[in-house]
Amino acid sequence: MDAVHLRNLTAAYGGHQVLGPISLDIRPGEHIALVGRSGAGKSTLLNLLYDQVKDRAALVPQEQGLVQTLSVFHNVYMGRLASYSRWYNLVNLVAPRRRELEEIRPLLERLGMADKLRQPVEALSGGQKQRTAVARALYQQAAILLADEPVSALDGPMAHVVMGLVSEAYSTGVIALHDIDLALRYCDRIVGIQDGQIALDEPTQRLSPADLLPLY
């Protein structure tokens, strides 16, 4: 993918500016963690970024964006709806085809959810729903991953599994994280957001947890 250049992005709610102006360059091959306290502007920045690159990005939104009444299989399959004809998508809605089942089942196995393939999303726990949204992004195979707190509902071991999978599947990604240790371990660049501005932008190797704590 080509580099992404954001220039002087701003966002306002109710006449009050909550973000920016922010300029940010995202280079191919970078895993960027957005860190900062809740309400600092991380989600807003991710949404603005998605508006710029949605044609080549997979998004894991904080609210997950799942269809509760459909199965885990169908929610993951939605990652590639745009790749197939309407007829082919309808066929998979009625009776999932073997090819798609054989592609999606291994993803769910790696996420510890193989037994949930045909369960409706509404029957899942919060952590299982989060993993379903991650599986959809993995299945999409876009050029860049944008993820907003994709492991917030997961325990330590599974959070590491998910971060490892998304880092392996996407060479370029921007991920909002509250967990400083995960950010430092799985990302090579840290962008700290504070009061709607970029307060820190450094390679991970130059940083320690103590450097990030003032952002919280």
Complete DSSP assignment for 84-99: S-HHHHHHHHHS--HH
What number of residues does the chain have? 216
pLDDT at residue 132 in the model: 98
- Residue 74's closest CA among 108, 31, 41? 108
Q: Where are the domains of the chain?
A: 4-68+126-134+142-215
User: By 3-state DSSP, what share of the chain in percent is helix, strand and coil, each rounded to 5?
Assistant: 45, 25, 30
Does the model's pTM come out above 0.85?
yes
CA distance 106 to 205: 33
Encode the chain (216 residues) as per-residue pLDDT tens digits. Answer: 788 999 999 999 888 888 989 999 999 999 999 999 999 999 999 999 999 999 999 999 999 999 999 999 999 999 999 999 999 999 888 889 999 999 999 999 999 999 999 999 999 999 999 999 999 999 999 999 999 999 999 999 999 999 999 999 999 999 999 999 999 999 999 999 999 999 999 999 999 999 999 999
Cβ–Cβ < 8 Å for 149, 177: yes
Give me 146's structure tokens: 């944008």
Q: How many CA atoms lie within 13 A of 195 on its CB side?
A: 2
pLDDT at residue 3 in the model: 86
Query: What are the backbone dihedrals phi and psi of residue 119, each rounded to the nearest 5 degrees, phi first?
Result: -80, 145
The dihedral built from the CA positions of residue 70, 71, 76 and 77, taken in this order, carries a sign that is negative
CA distance 70 to 208: 43
Indicate the helix (H) or strand (E) that contains 71: none
What does each C-alpha distance from 51 to 8, 9, 39, 54, 66 come to in angstroms?
Answer: 14, 11, 20, 6, 19
Q: Is the domain defined by 4-68+126-134+142-215 classed in CATH 3.40.50.300?
A: yes
